[in-house]
Structure 1
Amino acid sequence: MTPSHQHYAIEDTARSPQKQWLPQLLSGFYKLPGLEGKQGVLFSNAVLETYIEEEEKHDNFELTSGLNRSLRTLSSGEQKKALLSHLLQQNPDFIVLNNPYEALDKASVSVLKEELMSLSKSMPIVLIFNRQDDLLPVITHVITFENTEIKAIVPIEDYKFKRSTFVFDKDIPSAITAYTNIPEVLIELKNVNVHYEDRSILKDINWTIKKKEFWHLIGPNGSGKTTLLSMIYGNNSKGYGQEVYLFGQKKGSGESVWDIKQKIGYISPAMLELFKRSYTVEQMIISGFYDSIGLYQTPSTAQIRAAAQWMNVLNLSDQKNTSFLKLSPAVQRLILIARAMIKHPPLLILDEPLINVDDDGRALISALINKIAKESETSILFVAHRDEANIHPDFIYELYPSPNGSVGIPK
């Protein structure tokens, strides 16, 4: 059966920045069947964040007027549902979806895909994607751009998805930082419960992470993954008085947060917001020795050599003086991982390291994570909303929501 509308996809790559063509696409500037001279609306995380800021700064509850709740308190799936409903009330001619499934768990992705499939019967859809498996089956053509010009309009069945090849063929550098008195059991949680006001978040959590283990923490949106991480890495007051043991010490028994963080390497997408100044690749990696945003101390010869070895592993030696901000999101993540690993901490926490990167970037970052797991003594705690085919953990700890708080089951 022939679809009633043309539906387009655009691969999200650094080769054709959105800022060059997206405004013109939304205004119907391009001669595309179903879109020419029409007005579109944009469904994206950036648009959603604008509405969240509008609520917080001006008490303008445009998207949640009937819910008696703020956007910030909704789950990612609920936020996106509210945004989609609001955009459709504007009666657009078409809708542009910019990586609509990022930050959603498997169940929420499935629900949103069903909604979009239904929507595709009544209006044209343009899907900007970075994961090939996010494509909707109704997509008919892929558009490619060169600056503001359309380079090609290719039927979906003829489109060649670009895949670069890469290999990390150098060994992980050895540690130059020594840790003493690190026990076999790094993290232990015994019957941990977390409540916020009248809401139960976690119930009877029992979890042990030992040396050199590779764990994948998984669970739907709102299941308490962030809360659980904050018990380990953050200064979450809910952990005090409970059976939470970090590197052999009970939380709240006199250790400083700084003592704990020195033993943990940590990266998350939110960290990118911290690095606004133009630091070089070399400075970024060396700063991991000091856990600083930027490099304010003169590094030792050994530290400079260690950073050079990591850049060699990442195939970035020729870019050591390149600005971190000018690199692709995937390469930025590789550098953040190297920065977190340069001290060879006992524990490496990777919070959503694959979000907002394309399939190539996902494979590249996954290869580095698997390599660290295989070649170093560091334990890894990897967190993601969705299953990742390229990640090969030893164990999975899955959170299952219940009315009394999420329960955790190790696998």
Structure 2
Amino acid sequence: MKSSHHHYAIEDTTRSPQAHWLPHLLNGAYKLPGLEGKKGVLFSNSVLEKYIQEEEKHDNFELTSRINRSIRTLSTGEQKKALLSYLLQQNPDFIVLNNPYETLDKASVSVLKQQLISLSKSMPIVFIFNRQDDLLPVITHIITFEKEELKALVPIEDYIFKRSAFVFDKDIPTAITTYTNIPEVLVELKNVHVNYEDRSILKDINWTIRKKEFWHLIGPNGSGKTTLLSMIYGNNTKAYGQNVYLFGNKKGSGESVWEIKQKIGFISPAMLELFKRSYTVEQMIISGFFDSVGLYQSPSTLQINTAAQWMDVLNLSNQKNTSFLKLSPAIQRLILIARAMIKHPPLLILDEPLINVDDEGTALVSALINKIAKESDTSILFVSHRDEPNIHPDFIYELHPSPNGSIGKQK
């Protein structure tokens, strides 16, 4: 049965921030069939986060009152399911879905997608998207905004999706930082197992990362990707007493966490929270030499020149004095990667670097990652919850959940 409703999609771009038009859209202020004069609800990660905080601060279990559980204890997929169910109980006229699949693994995406297709038969849907592949097959029109003005309403078959054919055509700057005594094997995990209280997270993990290798770590939500990363990069006490070897030394045998971190470049979406002050593009990249948030030391001429070369590679030379916070998510990721790579560390860990990045930005960030893999001696560990067609790793390490903890398989 085909839905009789109009269903809309809005491309999530920095050119027209949601803050301008989203409140008006939810209040039915725009002349759009099925939405005008109606009231909508918003399904998004930020809304979910508000309910989680509300529960923590005020013991208000609105989302999970039916199942008598704290929302924090649910998987990401279950949290989103609880939010959707709660929103639909409000009997809205329509629902706005803001990148609903972000942070979900493939299985959860598939379940949610079917739910939304089913929902589309009974109410109009507005789908805010980063990635064209995420769009529901029921979408009929694309909406574009100019600030808070409704700019265009285009049938989906007539809409031209942006595609980036961008290439970085300058070579990566050479290393000016030297590391001594870096062995061939950078990371080695032998029969690693992790339990938290009565729950098994990882079971018999055997994994070796050597110099100049490009790995993609994948696995569904809750399969232990974050735990595995924290064994390597973080201060996860579960790593002590186990056979975890980093740069030739058994973890916990004398080398400090700081000494380990100096040999690893690291980026994750959570890092963006650190950079709240207005640092320029140049300051951000140079700060990679000092592993600092902001720039408190005077860089050498050589360091300033190297940062200039990186900005040249990224085609950002003319924006060196621009505030990092004013740039799009994709450009921010490029800068964070350059910051992490400026010392040419033996290992670069990229934890979900493409979250909240649109198709055009994904192509851009992926091109830089592939370039680093090709032109440097740095090993790359790329982590994501979805397949990324633009990423070209040498190897894939996949976590498969089991009742006794996730087991790892090399592909």
Whether 2:97 is the aligned partner of 1:93: answer no
- Using the size of structure 1 for normalisation, the TM-score is 0.99
Displacement over 6 Å in runs of 4+: none
Q: Percent identity?
A: 85
Deviation at 1:166, TM superposition (A): 2.1
CA deviations 1:330-359 (Å, max 9, x no partner) are 000000000000000000000000010100
SS at match of 1:116: helix
| Deviation sequence 1:109-132 (CA, Å, 0-9, x none) | 100000000000000000000100
* Cα separation, 2, equivalents of 1:359 and 1:10: 13
Give the 3-state SS of the residue equivalent to 1:266 in structure 2: strand
Q: Please give the alpha-carbon distance, in whole angstroms, between the structure 2 residues aligned to 1:53 and 1:173.
A: 44
Contact 2:211 2:378 in 1 (8 A): yes
Show the counterpart of 1:107. 107
Name the counterpart of 1:401. 401
Query: Structure 2: 5+ residue runs without aligned partners?
Result: none
Please list, as runs of the form range in 1=range in 2, the aligned pairs for 1:57-76 lying within 5 A after superposition.
Answer: 57-76=57-76
Aligned residues: 411
Root-mean-square deviation over aligned CA pairs: 0.8
Q: Which residue of 1 aligns with 2:123?
A: 123
Shift of 1:2: 5.3
Alignment of structure 1 residues 205-354 onto 2, 5 Å? 205-354=205-354
**Distance between the aligned counterparts of 2:247 and 2:151, measured in 1?**
56
Matched AA of 1:5: H
Q: Residue in 2 aligned with 1:371?
A: 371
Q: How far apart are the structure 1 equivalents of 2:72 and 2:184?
A: 39
Q: How far apart in 2 are the matches of 1:370 and 1:61?
A: 45
> What displacement does 1:3 show?
2.8
C-alpha separation in 1, matches of 2:74 and 2:335: 32
Whether the aligned pair in 1 keeps the contact of 2:145 and 2:152 (CA below 8 Å) is: yes
1:33-57 Cα deviation digits (max 9, x unpaired): 1111110000000101111111111
Q: Distance in 2 between matches of 1:164 and 1:215?
A: 25
Question: Which residue is 2:387 aligned to?
Answer: 387
- The 2-side partners of 1:80 and 1:248 are apart by 42
1:24 aligns with 2:24: yes
Cα distance in 1 for residues equivalent to 2:158 and 2:173: 43
Q: 1:164 & 1:197 partners in 2: Cα distance?
A: 47
* Structure 1 residue 64 displacement after superposition: 1.4
Please state whether the residue corresponding to 2:334 is helix, strand or coil.
helix
TM-score of the pair, normalised by structure 2:
0.99
For 2:245 and 2:162, locate their aligned partners in 1 and report how far apart those are by CA, in whole Å: 46
Q: Give the aligned residue type for 1:310.
A: W
CA distance in structure 2 between the partners assigned to 1:73 and 1:204 by the alignment: 25
Q: Using the alignment, how far apart are the partners of 1:71 and 1:176 within structure 2?
A: 48
Secondary structure at 1:380's aligned position in 2?
strand
Rounded to whole Å, the distance in 2 between the matches of 1:257 and 1:279 is 27
The structural deviation recorded for 1:388 is 0.3
Asked whether the equivalents of residues 164 and 363 of structure 2 are also in contact (C-alpha less than 8 Å), the reply is no
Separation in 1, partners of 2:165, 2:217: 29
> Which consecutive residues of structure 1, in runs of 5 or more, have no partner in the other structure?
none
